[in-house]
């Protein structure tokens, strides 16, 4: 291979008929199609396919997967490392999820529209005006109760196919919707319960990795409750419910939460530990609605 490489000579860019690329290599006095094909593949693999894309070869992907897993295990707050782990270990899960979306009318519409979830695309004040019991009102109440925003999701970098990259991005941006519809707060044990649910429902490898190693950070008492109460719920409910990647949540703001759960086949988990009472969150959501009315 090294001898072949030394024999290859770069030729100036020329335009040839028949669809042959303008950049060629020659071996002696003859064009070498193998070398041309290798060069084209190499150039293609290092050219970003979308904004923010960072192409990786197999070794770089493996190195990043191991490194991100190590860092994320030591510090679960490193969202960038968890995101990198999800992308470098995704494997065949994303093509499978895309196929599920293509076979579902709602999923196909998501792939066509490419909606995104952020404070720029979702009007929180408007959601607060939806009636009690609606998904829009439940979501803004959940955000208030957990003290989070929809702007914390890392963009995708390491998935080569643009549409598969969107599938991963869609999963990330809808993660809080899963919290909301499953009535789970943001804490370690609830996050792990949801990871088990997501693995059973979506089959993304990163969720399984988190579910296996995450419990090591829990106290014995919390770990026992996780495996005795939450994991059985997560595996049974996640495995039997409709694939949540196909749900166009943004078009269901006015739909009743209980009706959505019934449609998707979801039931509530065991009671979780919340840092803020529901009454406080509802009051905050109501205040947001009142402020909006006063402004208008």
Q: In what order do the strands lie in the sheet with 25-27?
A: 8-10, 25-27, 30-31
- Which of 68, 89, 292, 98 lies closest to 202 in space, CA to CA? 98
Report whether 175 belongs to an annotated binding site: yes
Where b means 16+ CB within 10 Å and e means fewer, 55-69 reads bbeeeebeebbeebb
How far apart are alpha carbons 213 and 6 in whole angstroms?
Answer: 48
- Which of 144, 83, 154 lies closest to 118 in space, CA to CA? 154
- Residue 159 has what DSSP assignment? -
How far apart are alpha carbons 97 and 167 in whole angstroms?
Answer: 8
The residues with which 30 forms a beta bridge, in sequence order, are 27
Report whether 189 belongs to an annotated binding site: no
Residue with tokens 């009671």: 271
Find the helix or strand (DSSP H, E) in which 106 lies.
Answer: helix 105-113
How far apart are alpha carbons 119 and 150 in whole angstroms?
Answer: 6
Report whether 75 belongs to an annotated binding site: no
Q: Taking a C-beta distance cutoff of 8 angstroms, is the pair 118, 105 a contact?
A: no
Q: Taking a C-beta distance cutoff of 8 angstroms, is the pair 208, 93 a contact?
A: no
Own/partner long-range contacts of 105-108 (Cβ < 8 Å, ≥24 apart) = 106/246, 106/247, 106/248, 107/245, 107/246
- Which of 116, 121, 139, 109 lies closest to 246 in space, CA to CA? 109
Give how far Cα 242 sits from Cα of 90, 237, 238, Å.
Answer: 21, 10, 8
Report whether 198 belongs to an annotated binding site: no
Give the residue numbers of the binding site for Zn(2+). Answer: 175-176, 179, 191
Give the residue numbers of the binding site. Answer: 175-176, 179, 191
């Amino acid at each position: 291979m090294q001898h072949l490489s030394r024999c290859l000579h770069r030729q100036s860019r020329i335009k040839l008929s028949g669809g042959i690329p303008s950049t060629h290599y020659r071996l002696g006095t003859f064009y070498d199609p193998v070398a041309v094909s290798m060069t084209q593949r190499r150039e293609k693999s290092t050219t970003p396919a979308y904004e923010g894309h960072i192409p990786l070869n197999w070794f770089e992907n493996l190195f990043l997967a191991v490194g991100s897993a190590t860092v994320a295990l030591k510090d679960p707050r490193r969202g960038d490392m968890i995101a990198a782990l999800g992308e470098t270990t995704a494997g065949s899960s994303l093509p499978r999820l895309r196929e599920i979306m293509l076979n579902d009318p709602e999923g196909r519409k998501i792939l066509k529209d490419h909606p995104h979830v952020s404070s720029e695309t979702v009007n929180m004040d408007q959601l607060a005006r939806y009636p009690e019991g609606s998904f829009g009102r439940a979501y803004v109440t959940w955000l208030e109760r957990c003290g989070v925003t929809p702007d914390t999701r890392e963009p995708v970098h390491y998935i080569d196919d643009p549409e598969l990259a969107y599938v991963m991005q869609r999963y990330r941006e809808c993660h809080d919707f899963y919290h909301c519809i499953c009535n789970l707060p943001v804490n370690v044990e609830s996050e792990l319960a949801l990871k088990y649910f997501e693995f059973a429902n979506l089959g993304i490898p990163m969720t399984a990795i988190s579910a296996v190693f995450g419990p090591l950070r829990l106290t014995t008492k919390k770990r026992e409750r996780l495996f005795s109460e939450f994991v059985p719920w997560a595996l049974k409910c996640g495995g039997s419910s409709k694939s949540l990647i196909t749900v166009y949540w943004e078009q269901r703001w006015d739909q009743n939460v209980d009706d959505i759960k019934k449609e998707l086949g979801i039931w509530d988990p065991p009671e979780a530990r919340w840092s803020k009472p529901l009454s406080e969150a509802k009051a905050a959501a109501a205040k947001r609605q009142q402020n909006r009315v006063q402004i208008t």
